[in-house]
Amino acid sequence: MNQQPNDKQTICIVIPCYNEEEVLPWAMGKLQTMIGKMKAETGIKGRLLLVDDGSRDRTWELIEGFAAEHSNVAGVKLSHNEGHQNALWAGMQESLGMCDAIVSIDADLQDDEMAIIDMARQFAEGKDIVYGVRKQRKTDTWFKRFTAQAFYRLMQTADKEIIYNHADFRLMSERAVRALMEYPERNMFLRGMVRQLGFSEGYVYYDRTARTAGESKYPLSKMLAFSIDGITSFSTAPLKFITFAGLTMTLISMLIIIYGLYEHFIGKTIEGWTSLMVSMWFIGGVITTGVGITGTYIGKIYNEVKRRPRYFVDKKVGIKGGN
Ligand code: UDP
Ligand code: MG
């Protein structure tokens, strides 16, 4: 693209959509309203790039309809369901050349789309990456809130780079996207990778709302289905299972330790039984957990060396670079 470095005119909003027919019309209305407001307040134009991640409902027909109706809407249909992170990646890659920055946001608009205007402002002021950070999680169920918070805490101890309560709602300048596209790994955790780019960063704080329609695409059943998948040679889930088995054994060993010591002190055992029982279970648990963790990393290596393509585009609508 032939642009001046400070030519900040167009933002492309990338929306991964997987079976989102229920929320899309509503979400499109809200996003178009926001785009109008953004243009009025900042002078920056907005485009919408909808990525259909192999939906099985009417999502693609809806996208085609929006693209026919609005000149600022484009759509990409992936040939297969590749998952949220890959769909986002596809959207970012396809958006190159169409805009000066991208904003990624989920189709359910649980993240406040009006925060995009603040992101645009910070972008105009020269920030390359602007993170959307949730102020609170009142509207999530306690289960989602608990698991999500445990997740962020765990990630933060493992990697200091993670921003607490930032999901994949963020703005990235075109050069930041191009830099990200140079990361070759297939095991993607975008919110962590973006942090490593090192360009100037800004933050926008907002309240997260509940999903208005449709259901979460990450229900418990999906996680269970995932482990069944793993039984095939295609996946590394069996390796994860070893970790799980090891952790369970370690837990059982704790119980056996208590039981063994109890039996020992009331004098019901023969010499050596307690120490044998306790160490057998404990060592077994620790070793199996270790094997599992190692196996999990090997599984990742297995996925990386295959170097499989991230996605294939099946169809496209809307003119690239047009209007
Ligand atoms: N999504 C996707 N591919 C998938 C699963 C989800 O593109 O395989 C999209 C989905 O359409 C939504 C976003 O990823 O725009 C986040 O999904 P969801 O809102 O269901 O997740 P949650 O907010 O419950 O974590
Ligand atoms: Mg959601």
pLDDT score, position 227:
45
Give the mean model confidence (pLDDT) for residues 205-212. 79
pLDDT score, position 261:
85
Do 212 and 242 have their domain in common? no
C-alpha distance from residue 168 to each of 71, 133, 284, 312 (Å)? 26, 10, 40, 22
In a domain, 107, yes or no: yes
Who has greater pLDDT, 214 or 312? 312
Do 86 and 208 have their domain in common? yes
Cα of 215 to ligand 2 centre, how many Å? 8
Do 117 and 243 have their domain in common? no
Given a cut of 90, is residue 271 above it in pLDDT?
Answer: no
How does pLDDT run across 160-203, given as a tens digit for each residue? 566 777 788 999 999 999 999 999 988 888 888 898 899 999 99
pLDDT score, position 320:
55
pLDDT score, position 239:
75
pLDDT score, position 232:
42
Do 189 and 263 have their domain in common? no
In a domain, 281, yes or no: yes
How does pLDDT run across 50-108, given as a tens digit for each residue? 999 999 999 999 999 999 999 999 999 999 999 999 999 999 999 999 999 999 999 99
Do 292 and 313 have their domain in common? no
Do 261 and 113 have their domain in common? no
How does pLDDT run across 214-261, given as a tens digit for each residue? 766 666 666 555 545 544 445 566 777 788 888 898 888 889 888 888
In a domain, 230, yes or no: no
pLDDT score, position 43:
94
Do 26 and 70 have their domain in common? yes
Range of the domain at 260: 237-306
Do 273 and 199 have their domain in common? no
The secondary structure element, H or E, covering residue 15 is strand 10-17
In a domain, 146, yes or no: yes
In a domain, 224, yes or no: no
Ligand positioned closest to the Cα atom of 167: 1
Residues, CB-to-ion distance under 5 Å, ligand 2: 106, 108, 110
Task: Answer yes or no: are the C-beta atoms of 92 and 181 closer than 8 Å.
Answer: yes
d(CA 90, CA 98) in angstroms, rounded, equals 14
How does pLDDT run across 273-301, given as a tens digit for each residue? 778 888 888 888 888 888 888 887 888 88
Give the number of domains in the chain: 2
Given a cut of 80, is residue 2 above it in pLDDT?
Answer: no
pLDDT score, position 321:
43
Kindly report the CATH number assigned to the domain that includes residue 203. 3.90.550.10
Query: Which residues approach ligand 1 with their CB closer than 6 A?
Result: 16-18, 20, 53, 81, 83-84, 87, 106-108, 110, 216-218
Task: Answer yes or no: are the C-beta atoms of 73 and 31 closer than 8 Å.
Answer: no
